[in-house]
């Protein structure tokens, strides 16, 4: 069978989530470190977003679509539950991760700080506005992790791999770190999951 190709730069939280899934399942893959909106990406994603995936004739965009394909097409442990409740709860946390955690931690805070205008600096009003939203997210995740070991119950699912890189990025910046650190369940979860080989082996290269 053809090689599995994951397309996208390793610094992307969503690319890392897909790479973590491959690592956890033991699925070999080739990483094509393409930036958003480059030809390899635009050929698959109408939005020009990463990650994308190719496997023989199959091309998929959107990380959850890619994760579903990999989980079903390859042997190894399952990380998207098949039972009705497990599947729904996993999907629920993936959606919450994408709509809330990615939006407020990644787009409204991390990306604004990292890609700030060199002369004007980051838009601090927008960063400040993100902080109370991140506080709500931290509480929601912390509450869920007080009820179960992982977001979708007592086994690791793709929902955890989806949010972990986002939380890890949030802990790198003082504005979000201060909020996240106040949540003991979330911090214990971050420590446990970032120790896994799937996280360690997918670290992006240091910024030049």
Binding residues vs ligand GSH (CB under 6 A):
12-14, 36, 48-51, 62-63, 98
Edge-first strand listing for the sheet containing 30-32: 30-32, 4-7, 52-55, 58-61
Least spacing, CB of residue 179 vs ligand GSH, in Å: 21
| Closer to ligand GSH by Cβ: residue 98 or 176 | 98
Least spacing, CB of residue 146 vs ligand GSH, in Å: 27
Distance between CA atoms of 139 and 135, rounded to whole angstroms?
6
Q: How far is CA 122 from the centre of its chain?
A: 23
Length of the chain: 208
| Closer to ligand GSH by Cβ: residue 14 or 96 | 14
| Closer to ligand GSH by Cβ: residue 147 or 207 | 207
Least spacing, CB of residue 29 vs ligand GSH, in Å: 16
Q: What is the DSSP letter of 5?
A: E
Q: What share of the chain is helix, strand, coil (3-state, %, to 5)?
A: 55, 10, 35
SS3 125: helix
Least spacing, CB of residue 167 vs ligand GSH, in Å: 14
Q: Which helix (H) or strand (E) covers residue 198, if one does? A: helix 197-200
Least spacing, CB of residue 80 vs ligand GSH, in Å: 14
| Closer to ligand GSH by Cβ: residue 51 or 81 | 51
In order, the DSSP letters of 155-171 are S--HHHHHHHHHHHHHT
| Closer to ligand GSH by Cβ: residue 49 or 176 | 49
């Amino acid at each position: 069978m053809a090689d599995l190709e994951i397309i996208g730069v390793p610094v992307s939280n969503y690319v890392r989530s897909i790479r973590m899934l491959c690592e956890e399942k033991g699925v070999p893959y080739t990483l094509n470190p393409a930036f958003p909106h480059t030809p390899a990406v635009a050929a698959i994603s109408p939005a020009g977003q990463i990650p994308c995936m190719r496997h023989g004739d199959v091309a998929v965009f959107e990380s959850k679509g890619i994760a579903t394909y990999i989980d079903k097409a390859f042997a190894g442990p399952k990380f998207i539950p098949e039972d009705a409740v497990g599947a729904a709860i996993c999907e629920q946390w993936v959606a919450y991760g994408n709509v809330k955690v990615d939006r407020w931690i990644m787009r409204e805070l991390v990306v604004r700080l990292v890609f700030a205008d060199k002369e004007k600096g980051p838009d601090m009003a927008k960063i400040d506005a993100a902080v109370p939203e991140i506080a709500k997210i931290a509480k929601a995740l912390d509450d869920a992790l007080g009820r179960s070991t992982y977001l979708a119950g007592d086994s690791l699912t793709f929902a955890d791999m989806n949010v972990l890189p986002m939380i890890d990025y949030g802990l790198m910046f003082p504005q979000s770190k201060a909020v996240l650190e106040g949540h003991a369940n979330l911090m214990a979860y971050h420590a446990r999951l970032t120790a896994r080989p799937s996280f360690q082996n997918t670290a992006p290269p240091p910024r030049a």
